[in-house]
Amino acid sequence: MTYFDAAAAAPLHPVARQALLAALDDGWADSGKLYSQARRARQLLDAARATTAEILRVRPDELTFTSGGTEAAHSAVLGGLAGRRRAGERLVHSAIEHSAVLYAASDAGVPVAVDRLGRLDLDAWREAVKGPGVALAALISASHEVGTVQPVAEAAEACAAAGVPLYVDAAQSVGRIPVPDGWSLLTASARKWGGPAGVGLLVIRKGARWRSRYPDGERETCRDLPAMVAAAAALRAVTAEQAAEAARLAPLVDKIRRVVAATVPDVEVVGDPDDRLPHLVTFSCLYVDGEALLHALDRRGFAVSSGSSCTSSTLRPSHVLEAMGVLSHGNVRVSLHRETTEADVDRFLSELPGVVADLRAEAGVVGL
């Protein structure tokens, strides 16, 4: 099986595996207690936090580990709105935010459109954040579905001018590309960069008004400490490898974009071809059922995503692709990782046209 779904979860980094096994021996105790085993666990927690904070260029006391990216996103949105309730209850966000952010926003959300490349409409954003009752703004750093990098720096300037704090969902960016400054809240997910599942990051900059959902603060001492240690170790490793991996994977993604467009009739390769993540590409095939395409590729030995990245099991149409105004059915998201080879990509590109043609023939669509 060739794994092409690193945007959902990258394979565990070897450094993370080593750190996880080592931390199991010393990190099993409750780090909130006072006895010697607990103090050792606390040292591991503090070291993991310090390492992660240094990489993100924040203070250690601004960073909290959560149980995953979804909890981090919910905490950022709900805590950010609660902390600014006197200012209002509205959340300005791009139309392509992760579903976790949209669910947390609920009826308080004020969506801002994107163009066909998936890039934020900055003029509309500037007007939206100046609106009445806006307490918080949320912008994904790079699209989790099509890879388009968002203008975070410009959006942050608009928020600062309007006196509105900015929350950035950096799940796809951390460990892959730098995240610009100017934000008040940031979240990330360890499994995206090769850390273990079940570890997320919530960063709250000093001075940001934020209220915890828990009376005693975020319950970090109850988390999976060995997994936190492994997540920090993996982040340090992938950050060191970041430039080299981007230089290796970006040409493979360019190749996928180019060859798919040339060899598969009636296909739309989506996202910004220039300002994008180096590891991710999405394309949509007309006259092809998304579920059938997913299963056909799986039978050929390719693990890819189809449909919305967080609802792919239901194969509902992607709200991201719909917001972009591009084809939202029959789509495939291919996301590469440190173990991906050019031979993997070449095999995928050689088999994809036949898979699509067979599915269209089964559906009675011929002559394309």
Using alpha carbons, select from 182, 348, 340 the residue that is nearest to residue 263.
348
Q: How many residues would you count in the chain?
A: 368
The values of phi and psi at residue 162, to 5°, are: -90, -5
What b/e string do you get for 59-98 counting C-beta neighbours within 10 Å, with b at 16 or more?
A: eeebbbbbbbbbbbbbbbbbbbbbbbeebbebbbbbbbbb
Nearest residue to 287 via CA among 233, 230, 368, 178: 368
Closest by CA position to 285, among listed 263, 303, 302, 301? 263
In 3D space, the residue among 106, 93, 100, 97 whose CA is nearest the CA of residue 69 turns out to be: 100
Active site members:
310
Q: How far apart are CA 195 and CA 199, in angstroms?
A: 8
- How does strand 280-285 pair with strand 267-270? antiparallel
* Cα 125 to Cα 93: distance, rounded to the nearest angstrom: 8
Residue type, 135: A
**The tokens of 351 are what?**
């088999």
Q: How far, CA to CA in Å, does 197 sit from each of 56, 191, 227, 274?
A: 20, 5, 8, 31
